[in-house]
Amino acid sequence: MANPEWLEIFDNWDGPKIQKHITELEEQISVFTSQGVGQKNYVKDLAELRGQLSAAYRVLKNRRQPLGSNPGFGISDFSNV
């Protein structure tokens, strides 16, 4: 599910910046959530990464759709009322 905070953040980024971040997120997401290297352990929050990725994809998708392309979208004209 797209993280609402990230939707707002990504909405203010330009296309190339979002695309670069998407590439980085896709590289970070993997099947493991933690990894140990020597005495150090690293933990990934996969839900956070998926939320960011979903939000980034949604922002790009919304930018590609022209206004009014959603079949559930309409503009009311009350000028003759």
**Quick one: 20 exposed, middle or buried, by C-beta within 10 A (0-12, 13-18, 19+)?**
exposed
- Domain borders along the chain are 4-64
pLDDT at 59: 93
Task: Report pLDDT digits (tens) over 30-75.
Answer: 766 777 888 888 788 888 899 999 999 999 998 887 665 666 666 7
The pTM assigned to this predicted structure is 0.68
The sign of the CA dihedral 50, 4, 56, 43 is: negative
